[in-house]
Structure 1
């Protein structure tokens, strides 16, 4: 009877799995098209079973495979956390050590290792962005970047940023007296068998161009590799290697046994039922999920673990846009749900960031028409000065838009290129409009 039940149940089980795989494959295709992703690589880990879904092309026009290299963005923070916790296990540092006990050149008298791990050291998003994308691949790059950091936040308050993990990378170098990339290779990537994962410029030579969004178009973007950003974002890996990494985490082979639960616990609450641990985002509840997204200009990555079910999902894409971030970040949880036989649909992007470049693009030709009109109308001198002042004020306000959003224009050029172009073009058009009102007035006075 038992044998008969197995014979009867197996085809049904296989059929359910096939439908789930078809649903995941369809989702990946729809998600890729909706977000302008030229190439994607996805894996679902279920115990010892791994199912992969690859689609599209890399930046060189070659088909994406499980061995295609991608930049992993802030997934690198989980690597840095593992290296730091390994040093804690070895007794070489302690979680509550003041950081400048080891980095004597760093101006951080009260900052601790634990605060850096949990983003409560007092650095802000802007502090990290100010030293990012330096593309410094010379020896000592981490120390130079960390040495240029400024400190504008409040110690003890949670603020997700890259500065914290830049300092942790410099700490790893100081304690081990080795380059960060070498420590990562010797203590993490090599032992786990992540043969195509690297944190140095030489190893990144096979990385094809990523892609950024310009309105509805996706364009290749290849600024180079940045070793100074390795501890928080610039690490190259593949789907195969990240599956190996995720599987090793589920098997308890990455984090020190005595620190794993602590690393995957909520230390800082970021929302209802969720928070941040040591280098991992944590969602509590009956089905605890630990995960981390990652983005660099041109690439997106997500590693999601459900330790209680021995499950993981890895998502890699060779395109990134801030306006598509909500949809990109939702994919791992959606794919997990589909792989378990549930249902999910591709989420939308950020409506404001999606529409703003189009609004600005449409406003520029309209503004140029107004410039021509403003040379002759209105005839009232008072109105012309009022309109000129309003146009100049609007130009300044538009130019300051990135600052009001908490970023610099340089950040917008790198991460939001279409919005940056719209801001600059719109500001120039408004200044031209203001000049037209004033110029028309001056011309009339001369004529008189």
Structure 2
């Protein structure tokens, strides 16, 4: 962070600009896809306004430090580089990867021919079919619950995630829907396996 906040009131923060010791008053605001910030330097009678046609909630510090960097240059100091949090880079890819794995799990049974599935169901015991289906459905529903809870752990809701971190939000929604589909699919397939298993019983 390129600033040191001393006081806060009426939406404005009062502090000093790091590396210069100069007094600073600043305020920022954001909408999905937009960020604005004003930094006032009363000692030098200067102000900086930075408008950006981009915004990402997990990278809020980087957007703010763009304005602080300009203020530092006005004060004769070099701007500082804000490191990107590795989580910000990894999380979208993790959500996309999870959605891809779930899609393969859902599509897998469709790639298997029906006669082969019937033969496999007849060769399995009723207990094995029930236990396998119960484990699969429980795992898929648990994953869906965790995905639904994830935005609240970051202080938001799924709808807010779609607005403020859309790359993560859409991956999360896709994975959540696919997890529910997987649970439903495994339930239907278990019912069919039990039906075929009973039909094959002498």
Q: Name the TM-score, length of structure 2 as normaliser.
A: 0.74
Q: Which residue of 1 aligns with 2:113?
A: none
Q: Which residue of 2 aligns with 1:422?
A: 171
Superposition deviation, residue 337 in structure 1: 2.1
Distance 1:432 1:332, change over 3 A: same
Superposition deviation, residue 272 in structure 1: 7.0
Q: Which residue of 2 aligns with 1:280?
A: 12
Distance 1:302 1:272, change over 3 A: closer
Q: Which residue of 2 aligns with 1:385?
A: 134
Question: CA-to-partner distance for each residue in 1:378-408, whole Å, 9 max, x for gaps?
Answer: 9633133112101111112212322332223
Distance 1:430 1:309, change over 3 A: same
Distance 1:326 1:272, change over 3 A: closer
Instruction: Figure out how many residues of one structure are paired with residues of the other and give that number.
Output: 178
Q: Which residue of 2 aligns with 1:339?
A: 74
Q: Which residue of 1 aligns with 2:34?
A: 299
Superposition deviation, residue 371 in structure 1: 2.4
Q: Which residue of 2 aligns with 1:444?
A: 193
Distance 1:363 1:411, change over 3 A: same
Question: 1:322, 1:353 within 8 Å by CA — same for their partners in 2?
Answer: no
Write the distance in 2 (CA, Å) between the matches of 1:315 and 1:383: 57
Write the distance in 2 (CA, Å) between the matches of 1:273 and 1:323: 20
Distance 1:395 1:323, change over 3 A: same
Write the distance in 2 (CA, Å) between the matches of 1:276 and 1:372: 54
Write the distance in 2 (CA, Å) between the matches of 1:282 and 1:398: 38
Equivalences for residues 368-407 of structure 1 within 5 A:
368-373=103-108, 380-381=128-129, 382-407=131-156
Q: Which residue of 2 aligns with 1:74?
A: none
Report the secondary structure of 1:342's partner residue. coil
Superposition deviation, residue 274 in structure 1: 2.5
Write the distance in 1 (CA, Å) between the matches of 2:5 and 2:36: 23
More strand by share: 2
Could you list the runs of 5+ residues in structure 2 that have no partner in the other structure? 111-116, 198-202
Q: Does 1:327 align with 2:62?
A: yes
Q: Which residue of 2 aligns with 1:312?
A: 47
Report the secondary structure of 1:288's partner residue. strand
Write the distance in 2 (CA, Å) between the matches of 1:284 and 1:334: 13
Q: Which residue of 2 aligns with 1:252?
A: none
Write the distance in 2 (CA, Å) between the matches of 1:279 and 1:434: 47
Superposition deviation, residue 290 in structure 1: 0.9
Superposition deviation, residue 345 in structure 1: 4.1
Report the secondary structure of 1:347's partner residue. coil
Q: What RMSD over aligned residues (CA atoms) do the two structures have, in Å?
A: 2.8
Q: Name the TM-score, length of structure 1 as normaliser.
A: 0.36
Question: CA-to-partner distance for each residue in 1:339-364, whole Å, 9 max, x for gaps?
Answer: 34432344244443443222211221
Question: 2:105, 2:182 within 8 Å by CA — same for their partners in 1?
Answer: yes
Report the secondary structure of 1:309's partner residue. coil
Larger-gyration structure (1/2): 2
Write the distance in 1 (CA, Å) between the matches of 2:56 and 2:16: 28
Superposition deviation, residue 373 in structure 1: 4.2
Question: CA-to-partner distance for each residue in 1:35-74, whole Å, 9 max, x for gaps?
Answer: xxxxxxxxxxxxxxxxxxxxxxxxxxxxxxxxxxxxxxxx
**Structure 1 residue aligned with 2:162, among 398, 413, 428?**
413
Superposition deviation, residue 338 in structure 1: 2.7
Question: 2:4, 2:16 within 8 Å by CA — same for their partners in 1?
Answer: no
